[in-house]
Amino acid sequence: MKVLDDFDFTERRVEANEELDVVAWAENNGWLVRKLQWIGRRSAPDRLFAGYGQLLLIEMKKRGKTPSKDGKLSEGQRLEFERFAAVGVTVSVFYTGEDAIAFLKSKM
């Protein structure tokens, strides 16, 4: 049987794997990490990272095959993150664990 020419053999990484890589790295490097979920509301950022005198909110999204296929914020997430921005709090969004880890390193 011949494999189709357009078959994609690239390794797939799901959002949860990327997120757990960041959590493991952060906990091993002095960060306190908590999963977030609002009671009675939706669209909480994925994680709170506390350490080095800072509280950081991070949302992980899945990387698509092309930038146009990258995981997008839901309308609820967009509105919730705008509410945070209105009071001076940034929710950082990352598509790879490496980018999120680099961000955390920059805050140490």
Residue 2 lies in a domain: no
Average pLDDT over residues 83-103: 96
Average pLDDT over residues 11-20: 70
Residue 82 lies in a domain: yes
Q: In the chain, what percentage of residues exceed pLDDT 90?
A: 73
- Predicted pLDDT of residue 66: 65
- Residue 99, domain extent: 15-106
Residue 1 lies in a domain: no
Whole-model pTM: value is 0.82
β-strands 32-35, 91-94: how paired?
Answer: unpaired
CATH number at residue 41: 3.40.1350.10
Q: How many residues belong to the chain?
A: 108
Residue 66 lies in a domain: yes
Residue 101 lies in a domain: yes
Residue 6 lies in a domain: no
CB 27 within 8 A of CB 33: yes
pLDDT confidence band for 94 (50 / 70 / 90) = very high
Q: What is the number of domains present in the chain?
A: 1
Answer whether residue 100 shows pLDDT above 80.
yes
Residue 4 lies in a domain: no
Helix pair 97-106, 15-28: axis angle to 10 deg:
30
pLDDT digits (tens, 9 = 90+) for 32-79: 999 999 999 999 999 999 999 999 999 999 877 666 667 889 999 999
